[in-house]
Amino acid sequence: MTHPTPPTHRGSLEKREAKLAYIMLIPTFLIVFSIVLGPLLANFWISAKPVQLGDLRPASVMVNEALRPRPKAAGEEVVLRYRVRNSSQGDAIENATLVDTLPDGLIIGDVPAPCTLTNRTVRCEFGTLEAKQRLDVLIPATVEQAYLDNGVRPRDVKAMTDGDAQNVLTSLEFSFDNFRKVFNGAEFWTVLKVSLYYTIFGTAGALVLGLFAAQLLNTSFKGRNLLRGLFLFPYVAPVIAVAFAWVLLLDAGPGGTFNAMLMQMGATDGPINFLGQRAIPYSIFGIQLEFPMALTTVIVFEAWRYFPLSFLFILARMQSVGGEMYEAAEIDGATPLQQFWSISLPQLMGILAVLFLLRFIWTFNKFDDIFLLTGGAAGTRTLTVDVYEQAFAVSNLGAGAAVAVVVFLVLLVFSLIFFKFSPQDDG
Amino acid sequence: MRLTWVTGFGALAGALWGAVWMIVVGILLMLVSGITTQPPVGFALLIGAILGAAGFLILAKFKDRQGLGVLSLGALAALLVVTLFQPFGVSMGTGPFYQTVAMVIWAGLVGLSLQMGLTGYTGEMVSRYRFEVLAIRLLKGLGFVLFTIVVALPFYVMVMTSLKSQQTLLRNPLDFSIDLSQGSASLFRSYIELFTDYNFGTFLMNSALVSVLTVFITLAFAIPGAYAVARLRFKGQALLSRSILLIYMVPAIVLVIPLYAVFSQAGLRNSLTGLLVVYPATTIPVALYMLQGYFRGLPSELEEAGLVDGLSRVGVILKITLPLSLPALASVALYVFMIAWNEFLFAFMFLDDLDMFTLSRGVVSLNSSEVPRQHLMAGSVVATVPVLVLFLWFERYLVSGLTAGSVKG
């Protein structure tokens, strides 16, 4: 008698199960690959091309047709004119063609060179149309009474055009000009530095505020749920709403509420331009230093807007810690601070690490907040804002994609570092 | 020794409370009444310090209610006397009602704060333990005040600005008093104009349409996917369940350029269809992650029983798994709705035509010097209220869903 062993080959039931799983996952795969992973890779492609925003509209053959002079009686000699041009300012079009069906009631004369007439269809093959090139095709014709009667004019049937335009996006030419441009600019390293400042302090701020808020609400009292709901407002409200509310609140002009408050309380003499001033110089012991005003403001906004998230997670973790440990500590005479330091904090380390990791990456990715608050001005341009500025403000898609590639690579490095050092549990 | 310790702490607590409440009440008085006040923070600090010291020395032995009354009355009297009957730096003649109320509130709050700080304190043991309890109580109290104000102030300014007019705000940016006698048509004028002149009705409909459809599309993709990852065995299952969240780390701004290029050429830009392709693609990974976590937690015996009784897999999912997962479905749906409703970048990049605008895009279009501020803020309120109401209504679901394993930045 042999010992029963588990089957080594995959049974049909198992195969069926796997097949079902793949079928259920295919839609997700398709959409994620085409909308997320595809574009991610496409950035590498675009970043190696000298492509401008205007290049997205490819060169095409434009045509305008007219019958001159306007016929009034049967038997008149007229000319059917096609005015053809290349819409592009820089790219040639190869194999440019024009196809049109002529209206009834016209006796067509000699059709000129690149064109041929079969039945009532005109077909012209122009070959290569240089950039901005225009040319006219003139076809003589005689008007019959039928044309005047039936009311169908040449323009009523649209002339079809076609041609192979050189599309920068799909060509096989590559260059590193975009990267050269991005890295050579002295600005790039400033932008990178600002990005790191923003990410580190924004993350730390949101975590510390979240930890404080969780401490506040980790006791039960009347109105606790109300306060918890209120504390989540900044996170739940749309970013445009809160960003514009901050912009108006911090306005340095005559209508700025916060500056008016500070001045009324005697805290400052004149209005502070929280979002528009790059740096406020000050000196300590004779050393001249600068306080990055606008950058600090956007960091404070980031901490304000995202502390609710860390607050929620930390509070949930705190409430899952049993009361017994605190009771035991209480009996042993541990003070509240000792209890926090020796019991709460170690218990929270896991979630704090995970939160730090996630928030760090998301803060680094953040675009909307800074874009809406300052537009990247006054020393607040981060890498993500730079992507937008290069691609859409300067209209250089290639350079924008190059910055996007840098963003992606930096993120990749962060992720590798984090996953190497992050704890395995909690989530 | 003990005496100085407690007195010192009481003075410190009292001073902080006196000053903090004076700033808070003083500013609130300005905002609500429109009176330009000069809150005497220094005096308030001094009065608080004296009361705090006294309270910790003597009043700790009183019963709760008496202590409160004595402290508050003391604060009130002291404030009136030291400021020569100008409690907020202006003559009582301007807005006597508001000033009286504010004064009483200030005194009451100072008394209440001190008294709450004293609760349970008998004036005897001053061990390290006792001290820490008192100090933490003070810090927590100040923390509550600070957090509440910091969180609420921008929203308060948003709502109040939308009800005022730019001229009056430029004249006095601290005057958020509302003149109720003007009638509701005049009070809500900027809202009415948004809907009549600025197409906000269309924007609202577009936002609702896009968000709701995104929720349905996301669920249609994520439910089968999550079920497969949670329950079925196949090659790459472990890898998939771990890496699905990585997709969520990809920043939207990196996707914008290629999608802009492709969508422009495919004619999907400047259409709601384009948004309905992009939004689900970015929310499906999270939704799948949240749902598979929940599906794993369901007892598999129920599903096996269904299979044994002759249901197909699809039947099991429809008749057993989904009805059991309603809470998770609700939280995922809400969360996805929130993301789609609040989304800004793609709406901003993709939409050009006024009839296509979602609320996010619409509010941005109000941010110009030609549109008065109250319209911008009214637009912000219109964009905020639906999502906040929905959130408060289903808060419990959302909070449990969020903390069950997924987050969004």
Give yes or no for A217 touching B (CB within 8 A): no
- Kindly list the residues from chain B whose CB atom is less than 8 angstroms away from the CB atom of residue A51: 261
CA distance B81 to B279: 63
Displacement of CA A245 from its chain's centroid (Å) = 23
Residue A189: inside a domain:
yes
Q: How close, in Å, is residue B70 to chain A by CA atoms?
A: 25
Q: How close, in Å, is residue A175 to chain B by CA atoms?
A: 18
In the block, residue with structure tokens 């009638």:
B183
* % of chain A residues with pLDDT over 70: 94
A232: closest chain B residue by CA: B151
Give yes or no for A397 touching B (CB within 8 A): yes
Domain containing residue A115: CATH number: 2.60.40.290
Among the ranges given (A155-169, A305-319, B184-198, B352-366), the one the predictor scored with the smallest mean pLDDT? A155-169
Average pLDDT score over residue span A210-218: 90
Q: Do A156 and A216 sit in the same domain of this protein?
A: no
Q: How close, in Å, is residue A28 to chain B by CA atoms?
A: 6
Reading the block at residue B152, the tokens are 């609420």
pLDDT tens-digit profile of A302-361?
Answer: 999 999 989 988 988 888 777 788 888 888 878 888 888 888 888 888 888 888 888 899
Predicted confidence at residue B408, as pLDDT, reads 40
CA distance A263 to B39: 12
- Kindly list the residues from chain A whose CB atom is less than 8 angstroms away from the CB atom of residue B278: 35
Out of A156-170, A272-286, B86-100, B270-284, the most confident range is: B270-284
Between A313 and B402, the higher pLDDT residue: A313
- Kindly list the residues from chain A whose CB atom is less than 8 angstroms away from the CB atom of residue B256: 387-388, 391
Residue A85: strand, helix, or coil? strand
Neighbours of A246 (CB within 10 A): 26
Q: Do A101 and A231 sit in the same domain of this protein?
A: no
Q: Do A150 and A196 sit in the same domain of this protein?
A: no
Residue A289: strand, helix, or coil? strand
Predicted confidence at residue B404, as pLDDT, reads 55
Contact flag A24-B224 (C-beta cutoff 8 Å):
yes
Residue A142: inside a domain:
yes
Predicted confidence at residue A199, as pLDDT, reads 95
Among the ranges given (A86-90, A139-143, A323-327, B24-28), the one the predictor scored with the smallest mean pLDDT? A86-90
Q: Are A302 and A198 in contact (CB under 8 A)?
A: yes
Average pLDDT score over residue span B304-316: 87
Reading the block at residue A146, the tokens are 């039928």
Q: Do A267 and A161 sit in the same domain of this protein?
A: no
- Kindly list the residues from chain A whose CB atom is less than 8 angstroms away from the CB atom of residue B225: 24-25, 27-28
Between A425 and B61, the higher pLDDT residue: B61
Residue A62: inside a domain:
yes
Residue A12: inside a domain:
no
- Name the B residues in 337-366 with CB < 8 Å from any A CB: 338, 341-342, 344-345, 349, 359-360, 363-364
| Residue type for position B134 | L
Select the residue from B253, B276, B376 to test the A interface by mutation, using most A Cβ atoms within 10 A. Answer: B253
Residue A23: inside a domain:
no
Give yes or no for A257 touching B (CB within 8 A): yes
Displacement of CA A206 from its chain's centroid (Å) = 24
Q: Do A204 and A270 sit in the same domain of this protein?
A: yes
In the block, residue with structure tokens 């306007």:
A70
Predicted confidence at residue A426, as pLDDT, reads 42
Neighbours of B244 (CB within 10 A): 20
| Mean pLDDT score of chain B | 83
Domain containing residue A202: CATH number: 1.10.3720.10
**Domain endpoint, select from A165, A199, A231:** A165
Give yes or no for A414 touching B (CB within 8 A): no
pLDDT tens-digit profile of B4-50?
Answer: 677 778 888 888 888 888 888 888 888 888 777 788 888 888 888 88
Give yes or no for A373 touching B (CB within 8 A): no
Give yes or no for A363 touching B (CB within 8 A): yes
Average pLDDT score over residue span A15-30: 88
- Kindly list the residues from chain A whose CB atom is less than 8 angstroms away from the CB atom of residue B395: 229, 232
What distances in angstroms separate CA B386 from CA A27, A308, B205, B339, one per listed residue? 31, 19, 12, 13
| Residue A9 confidence (pLDDT) above 70 | no
Predicted confidence at residue B341, as pLDDT, reads 94
CA distance A193 to A50: 27
A56: closest chain B residue by CA: B261
Contact flag A245-B152 (C-beta cutoff 8 Å):
no
Residue A319: inside a domain:
yes
Contact flag B132-A335 (C-beta cutoff 8 Å):
yes
Give yes or no for A336 touching B (CB within 8 A): yes
Domains in chain B, start-ordered, CATH in brackets?
A: 2-178 (no CATH), 194-403 (1.10.3720.10)
In the block, residue with structure tokens 């065995």:
B233
Contact flag A28-B377 (C-beta cutoff 8 Å):
no
Q: Do A185 and A318 sit in the same domain of this protein?
A: yes
Q: Are A234 and A307 in contact (CB under 8 A)?
A: yes
Give yes or no for A188 touching B (CB within 8 A): no
The whole domain housing A134 covers 58-165
- Kindly list the residues from chain A whose CB atom is less than 8 angstroms away from the CB atom of residue B251: 364-365, 367, 384, 407, 411
Average pLDDT score over residue span A17-22: 88
Contact flag B30-A264 (C-beta cutoff 8 Å):
yes
* % of chain B residues with pLDDT over 70: 90
Predicted confidence at residue A179, as pLDDT, reads 84
Average pLDDT score over residue span B250-268: 87
Residue A13: inside a domain:
no
**Nearest Cβ partner of B170 from A18, A254, A313?**
A254
Contact flag B250-A40 (C-beta cutoff 8 Å):
yes
Predicted confidence at residue B61, as pLDDT, reads 59
| Residue B403 confidence (pLDDT) above 70 | no
Q: Do A63 and A187 sit in the same domain of this protein?
A: no
Give residue A427's pLDDT band: very low, low, confident or very high (50, 70, 90): very low
Q: Do A140 and A199 sit in the same domain of this protein?
A: no
- Kindly list the residues from chain B whose CB atom is less than 8 angstroms away from the CB atom of residue A40: 250, 254-255, 258
A248: closest chain B residue by CA: B373
Among the ranges given (B34-43, B257-266, B295-304), the one the predictor scored with the smallest mean pLDDT? B34-43
Residues in a beta bridge with A289: A282
**Nearest Cβ partner of B147 from A213, A236, A427?**
A213
- Name the A residues in 51-80 with CB < 8 Å from any B CB: 51, 56-58
Predicted confidence at residue B386, as pLDDT, reads 93
Give residue B407's pLDDT band: very low, low, confident or very high (50, 70, 90): very low
| Residue A408 confidence (pLDDT) above 80 | yes
Size of interface A-B (CB pairs under 8 A): 286
Q: Do A161 and A185 sit in the same domain of this protein?
A: no
Give yes or no for B160 touching A (CB within 8 A): no
**Domain endpoint, select from A136, A165, A194:** A165
Select the residue from B257, B335, B337, B398 to test the A interface by mutation, using most A Cβ atoms within 10 A. Answer: B257
Residue A154: inside a domain:
yes
Predicted confidence at residue B378, as pLDDT, reads 93
Q: Do A256 and A348 sit in the same domain of this protein?
A: yes
**Domain endpoint, select from A143, A165, A187:** A165
Give residue B279's pLDDT band: very low, low, confident or very high (50, 70, 90): very high
Contact flag A28-B233 (C-beta cutoff 8 Å):
no
Contact flag B388-A236 (C-beta cutoff 8 Å):
yes
Q: Do A225 and A327 sit in the same domain of this protein?
A: yes
Give yes or no for A276 touching B (CB within 8 A): no
| Residue A425 confidence (pLDDT) above 50 | no
| Mean pLDDT score of chain A | 83
Q: Do A366 and A219 sit in the same domain of this protein?
A: yes
Among the ranges given (B37-51, B56-70, B200-214), the one the predictor scored with the smallest mean pLDDT? B56-70
B176: closest chain A residue by CA: A257
The candidate with the shortest Cα–Cα distance to A309, out of B402, B149, B148, is B402
pLDDT tens-digit profile of A43-63?
Answer: 888 888 787 777 777 677 788
| Residue B70 confidence (pLDDT) above 80 | no
CA distance A249 to B159: 12
Between B109 and A204, the higher pLDDT residue: A204
Count of structural domains within chain A: 2
| Residue B177 confidence (pLDDT) above 80 | no
Predicted confidence at residue B125, as pLDDT, reads 53
Contact flag A238-B285 (C-beta cutoff 8 Å):
no
Q: Write down the H helix ranges in B121-271.
A: 128-163, 166-171, 184-187, 189-197, 200-231, 237-243, 252-266
